Amino acid sequence: MKSIAELRGLRFPDIFVVRMLFKEGLHRKPGRVLELGCGNGNNLLPFAEFGWDVTGLDISGEALADARHNFDGIGSFIECDLAADFPVPQDEAFDAIILPNIIYYLPRQSFLRVLRECRRRMRPDGVFFLSARLPEDWRCGRGKEEEPGGFRLDCRETGEYGLLNVFYTADELSGLILEHFGELRRRQLLFLTYDNPQGGIVIRNADVVVWGRLGET
């Protein structure tokens, strides 16, 4: 893999992905990890550093080119539109599947399909991680509503103009995870609110982070 100075795109992983990796002891027991919406692979870098086999899916060919550069021949990076496709064979199994910063760009029905596909590919003791945007986020309601809680953004400050953003309450998201994965062991439900200067204004972000292991509690 490249050094930090040589990386293209984002250089550091999501802090909650890092916390999950260490709190679940994933740094001590390498396995296979799949990230949906991997971008340039920044969230997969710490897994690879600890010997994990990494696979990433993303809609952007440019971002995946950066990922292949950053990983320097390590890992597998696949271009796809998760709203319509899930190009991972059903007989492949993963010890961890992570969805940081991706599900709000998917239509609700596509997200439900993605949950089903993830469940089919998780090992019995696998770790599942995702983050979502809450209705308290600054973006919620800024655009045409195309589905319940889903808006085609008409604001440019965050660089997401024209993109669909679907917002979930924590209770709704917890219910969907329970429906598709059952009761996760050591489940964590964490709330994150922070301000970020973008486009000349301060954007209030409101996220929820969920992770846990498959299997009986």
* pLDDT score, position 5: 93
CB 135 within 8 A of CB 159: no
CB 192 within 8 A of CB 205: yes
What domains does the chain contain, in order, with CATH numbers? 4-135+167-213 (3.40.50.150)
* pLDDT score, position 1: 85
Residue segments in the chain with a per-residue pLDDT below the cut of 70? 216-217
Q: What is the pTM of this model?
A: 0.96
- Report pLDDT digits (tens) over 29-67: 999 999 999 999 999 999 999 999 999 999 999 999 999
Q: What tokens does 4 get?
A: 């930090």
Identify the DSSP state of 199.
T
